Structure 1
């Protein structure tokens, strides 16, 4: 498997989550952030967490309690959207590929990310899964050099979304079902109601 760095996107304000920072909400006894870092650590050589400066102390505590070592890429442009967060994180990545996963997607299987990474290495490019609803840019593998250049250009042009980045990258697209990503795995835990539903369903499948 190609050398890769895991990137957790966790710098959002959790505005739809009315019980604090969603990254620290617990599922099966662990914060969502811990689940996502563990998933990435299973398929990468290192993990970088992108977050705001005010989030870092609580994140460090949560990850230390779980004995998970990470580095942090603290937002230099907070509240500027996911494109700014990803750009900041990728600037700290030294490997050819970055496996990106949002902090609110704790059910994504590591095997699915490994499949994306393998396809990215074979194609030499960014690989993104697609569902019936469209692309999933926060569960994808980015070729770092091209993504950094494209992200900088997109940001300079006033873009703030990851979909705008994908348009510039022309990624390889993979059907989500082909790599074991069903609707449940790709559901973002962005509200307390979604989290409660997962808890009722006995949380994460392992």
Structure 2
């Protein structure tokens, strides 16, 4: 698989309140590493550019870390910080709690990019996932305005202001692990014979 000429950011700046402990440290099944390591590997397999990790406000700075500039800014802040850094037209994003996303997703999304497309994301008839997506650099100003605002804005409300394309994918790719029950279900499904 040819790697795409984009940078990427793993969105790992959440507080994991529903999980009860940092999701990124959960051990990924069948691999020697965590959810964070897995997400970084997915992006490094798919992309030829730099991979950053988005971290919460107050985290020590590092070359491969993008620290939120305001507390409780949400995932849009991680995307905004990546868009500030990348020289490429699109930034690939992947939330750390989406363990079913394969590297080939980004090549599929890239086929739908273009001058008039702000965000390309995967979805099914019942769910979309803009936190495993390609975001165009043109969205930077909107995200800057939203993240500087007095209240947290839902990502779905931001998408409503943008030109988007949804690419159909298998529902198993969009599994989200926010709670211990969702994590246990993911582990059970991962262990089940295919």
User: Same fold judged by TM-score > 0.5?
Assistant: yes
Pairs within 5 Å for 1:88-107? 88-107=81-100
Q: Are 1:183 and 2:171 an aligned pair?
A: yes
**Residue deviations 1:60-105 (CA, integer Å, cap 9, x gap):** 9xxxxxxxxx711011112122222321232122222111110011
Secondary structure, counterpart of 2:97 in structure 1: coil
| Alignment gaps of 5+ in structure 1 | 61-69
**Structure 1 stretch displaced more, 96-105 or 83-92:** 83-92
Secondary structure, counterpart of 2:141 in structure 1: helix
Matching residue of 1:37 = 40
Q: Are 1:153 and 2:153 an aligned pair?
A: no
| Alignment gaps of 5+ in structure 2 | none
Higher helix share: 1
CA contact (8 A) 1:116 1:140 kept: yes
Matching residue of 1:50 = 54
Matching residue of 1:194 = 182
Residues of 2 paired with 1:3 and 1:193: CA distance? Answer: 37
TM-score normalised over the length of structure 1: 0.79
Superposition RMSD in Å: 2.7
CA contact (8 A) 1:126 1:142 kept: yes
TM-score normalised over the length of structure 2: 0.83
Residues of 2 paired with 1:124 and 1:50: CA distance? Answer: 24
Residues of 1 paired with 2:192 and 2:9: CA distance? Answer: 20
Pairs within 5 Å for 1:80-159? 80-121=73-114, 125-144=118-137, 146-156=138-148, 158=151
Judged with a 3 Å threshold, the aligned counterparts in structure 2 of structure 1 residues 54 and 199 are, in CA distance, closer, same or farther, namely: farther
CA contact (8 A) 2:74 2:152 kept: no
Match 1:5 to one of 1, 4, 7? 7
CA contact (8 A) 2:43 2:103 kept: yes
CA contact (8 A) 2:14 2:74 kept: yes
For these two proteins, the number of residue pairs brought into alignment is 187
Deviation at 1:124, TM superposition (A): 5.3
Deviation at 1:137, TM superposition (A): 1.0
Judged with a 3 Å threshold, the aligned counterparts in structure 2 of structure 1 residues 96 and 204 are, in CA distance, closer, same or farther, namely: farther
Secondary structure, counterpart of 1:34 in structure 2: helix
Judged with a 3 Å threshold, the aligned counterparts in structure 2 of structure 1 residues 79 and 139 are, in CA distance, closer, same or farther, namely: same
CA contact (8 A) 2:46 2:107 kept: yes
Matching residue of 1:25 = 26
